[in-house]
Amino acid sequence: MSKIQKSFYFLGCIVTFFCIVIGCNSSSLKRYQVSGTVTLDGQPVAEGEIRFSPDNAKGNTGPQGYAAIENGKFKTLKETGVIVGPMYATVTAVEPIQGEEKNDGSSSRKIIFENWNYAFEMPAKPYVLDLNITKEDLKELENSY
């Protein structure tokens, strides 16, 4: 390799490094707050979690968002918010197991359902998402495994 080729190679490595560090850094993506409710047959889901994942099949990539569900309500924090574009909301619902309290006051949890998905388009602003899940939806989920 000539000196010029080595210089261009070195410069290319530096540019690539900065593109990866700066351009692909997920923290540079704007996140928006999502809040709402989750019900099962009209009743609030007592506890659980909701994850927001970009729909890769539709060309959306980036970090996941997350919120805890308490008494049927959820709200992402600024740092766990959702990026713009096609997304999936994935819900898992749990309930405490009575009689299995731990020393710290918490109790073991039983999964009511997990990995129930809902596709939606996230706008570039705070968004309200109300998910009304039915037992029929869960039967479809069980049949998909």
Pick from 20-34, 55-69, 71-85, 127-141: least confident: 20-34
Pick from 47-51, 106-110, 121-125: least confident: 106-110
Pick from 1-10, 34-43, 93-102: least confident: 1-10
What pLDDT, in 10s, does the model give residues 42-63? Answer: 999 999 999 999 999 999 999 9
- Closest to 61 (Cα-Cα) out of 86, 93, 35, 36: 86
Residue 98, pLDDT score: 74
DSSP character at residue 45: P
Please say if the pLDDT value at position 76 is more than 60.
yes
Mean pLDDT of 53-77: 96
- CA angle in degrees (0–180, nearest 5) for 36-42-45: 55
Termini Cα distance of the chain:
56
In the chain, % helix, strand, coil (3-state, to 5) comes to 25, 45, 25
* Mean residue pLDDT across the chain: 82
AA identity, residue 106 = S
Mean pLDDT of 129-139: 93
List strand residue ranges (DSSP E) for 14-143, in order: 34-40, 43-44, 47-54, 65-70, 73-75, 85-101, 107-122, 127-133
Contact criterion met (CB below 8 Å) for 31 and 83 = yes
Residue 3, pLDDT score: 44
What pLDDT, in 10s, does the model give residues 16-51? Answer: 444 434 344 445 689 999 999 999 999 999 999 999
pLDDT > 70: what percent of the chain?
Answer: 72
